[in-house]
Amino acid sequence: LQEKSRASDFARMRTISSRSLDRAQTTIEDFVKSYFVLYGLGPAEYLKLFPVLTFVEATIYELDELNEEQTQRGDTAPTEDFDRILSGLIGVLQAKELYDEKVATELRKGIRYWERERSICKALTRCDHIRSERRKD
């Protein structure tokens, strides 16, 4: 019962904008055209997966939008909104039993990419010298 309540809380959380949905559309179209054919999936499977595909992709784009805003301001640490939206994404994936170590690893890679992007952009705006960082992956 508590897990259903938690899933319901995440389902009601506002996390994505219309712009993020628009950006997600092209990616989802490419994904469906490429991978559904390879796996013999048709319209019924697409319609079944449509809500989660759309939610995940649009949420990733929303996080990217927040990262861009942070980069423009010269912020290097994630904002409360960023953390809230990321937690919401993870919560929904967990509630749908779609969150596993592979997904967690990919999200960590994306977060690390955004951290590096913010750091590099801040260095460029301050005209600091950019030092190569050893790859930590």
Question: 11 vs 24, which has greater pLDDT?
Answer: 24
pLDDT tens by residue, 81-90? 889 899 999 9
* Residues in contact with 126: Cβ distance below 8 Å, sequence separation at least 6, in sequence order: 74
| Other Cβ atoms closer than 10 A to 62 | 25
State how far the Cα of 19 lies from the Cα of 23, in Å rounded to an integer: 6
State how far the Cα of 30 lies from the Cα of 27, in Å rounded to an integer: 5
pLDDT tens by residue, 16-35? 788 888 888 888 888 888 88
**pLDDT value for 13:** 60
Whole-angstrom Cα Rg for the chain: 17
Token pair for residue 68? 């861009």
